[in-house]
Amino acid sequence: MSSHGGAAGTAASEYARHWALDPGIAFLNHGSFGACPIPVLEAQAQIRERMERQPVRFFVRELEDLLDTARTDLARFIGADPEGLAFVANATTGANAILRSLKFQRGDELLTTNHAYNACRNALELAASSNGARVLVAQLPFPIRSPEEAIASVINQLTTRTRLALIDHVTSPTALILPIAQLVAELDRVGVDTLVDGAHAPGMLALDVKSIGAAYYVGNCHKWLCAPKGAGFLCLREDKRGSIRPLTISHGANSPRSDRSRFRLEFDWTGTDDPSPYLCVPEAIRFMGSLLPGGWPELMSRNRAMALRGRDALCRALRVPAPAPDGMLGSMAALPIWDGSPEPPSSSLYADPLQTELLKKPGIEIPLVPWPAPPKRLVRISAQLYNHDAQYELLANALRERLRFS
């Protein structure tokens, strides 16, 4: 155990030295933006140095092969076909590219759930309104008793006009692992394509995109893979690769090349940008997998166990039952707390006064999530290797103290 302290004197994980996080803050919000380890940031700096040393050589002669290597490594890690995988800035960008490419007819129905990530829900609403379609929302319960409840809620919303379902693999507000393979199979059986928002899945779960079988899958590498910000991906099933185009149309649209698919030519070059986040994905996979003797399986198992212990500490402090079965949780957990302000949030990201209060004293960074709408809200914790059990006890004590005066 490292001797240096954390927020309000809490012990720090022995692995915290690999991150540049403020040691005075108990950072329990890895799920929102991730945190990139120092060695991966150093690898990114080397790539940027190489790019700036000779930009023409880098972009014209080297980048394509570098992207091929990075894409192959990522595909191997997430169980995907590299030919159907493309790097994008983040999962929201990937979802937008897919939804903007699809054409619906007036009266078509696009299905999602009340646990969907707001940004992707907005993209779905735009796709629907642009084509005369409409969005239906399956009401998944929370608290929830079993994965079967989630499946039933989705299936019960299907009609003969349902064309597409946007389903989270791991829900952002409620931190639930949905039974995505079963949902995709049930939807596919009735001819409904699924767009899986897998923003939190890579690095949290043992992922096999091909076996899930979704028409479309998007994910992030900056969260649980711990790659630099700006590294995400989309995966297209083989029968969908001819119809999806990037948000930015560039040289690939009319390239005379025949050695690569149009999908590859369009997504691999959308204009001059910094590709270093994509190129660092293999190093992030390698580095994070090297920190524990059991590699990635041990890392994912350790984080999940810590998240469950943290949830249990909060449940004891707030005297509430666990709102979801252990089997539906990975390295995040959420649970209801007392009501906040009935006013709508003033920011699209973080606005709850309690979040600011906890950051000031005792020094905890944690998200408070409106659920299902203000004033109802959830507290959501994350667990990454740099975290330690004492940090969750610190949060539990802080919430218990404030509950007395709420």
Per-residue pLDDT reduced to its tens digit, 32-57: 999 999 999 999 999 999 999 999 99
Report the pLDDT value the prediction gives residue 11, as an integer from 0 to 100: 62
Q: Which candidate, 79, 72, 73, 75, places its Cα nearest to that of 208?
A: 79
Mean residue pLDDT of the chain comes to: 95
DSSP state of 177: B
Average pLDDT of the segment spanning 172-182 = 98
Domains of the chain with bracketed CATH: 7-28+295-403 (3.90.1150.10), 41-285 (3.40.640.10)
Report the pLDDT value the prediction gives residue 12, as an integer from 0 to 100: 72
DSSP state of 339: -
**Residue found by looking up tokens 């939807």 in the block:** 187
Residue 350: pLDDT band (50, 70, 90) is confident
54-98 pLDDT per residue, tens: 999 999 999 999 999 999 999 999 999 999 999 999 999 999 999
Q: Is the pLDDT of residue 312 over 60?
A: yes
- Is pTM beyond 0.75? Reply is yes
Residue 2: pLDDT band (50, 70, 90) is very low
Cα torsion 347, 352, 199, 117: sign: negative
Backbone angles phi, psi at 193, to 5 degrees: -75, 150
Task: Name every residue whose Cβ is closer than 8 Å to that of residue 304 and which is 6 or more positions away in sequence.
Answer: 329, 330, 331, 383
- Using CA atoms, how far residue 29 sits from 126, 206, 223, 266, 305, in Å, is 29, 21, 10, 35, 16
DSSP string, 247-306: SS--GGGG----SS-HHHHHHH-SSS---HHHHTHHHHHHHHHTSSTTHHHHHHHHHHHH
Residue 3: pLDDT band (50, 70, 90) is very low
Classify 224 as helix, strand or coil: coil
Residue 245: pLDDT band (50, 70, 90) is very high
Q: Which amino acid is at 205?
A: L
**What whole-number distance in Å separates Cα of residue 139 and Cα of residue 373?**
14
Q: Is the pLDDT of residue 344 over 80?
A: no
- Using CA atoms, how far residue 268 sits from 63, 220, 248, in Å, is 9, 17, 11
Classify 82 as helix, strand or coil: helix
Average pLDDT of the segment spanning 272-292 = 98
Q: Which candidate, 232, 295, 275, 270, places its Cα nearest to that of 95?
A: 232
Cβ 199 vs Cβ 223: under 8 Å? yes
Report the pLDDT value the prediction gives residue 258, as an integer from 0 to 100: 96
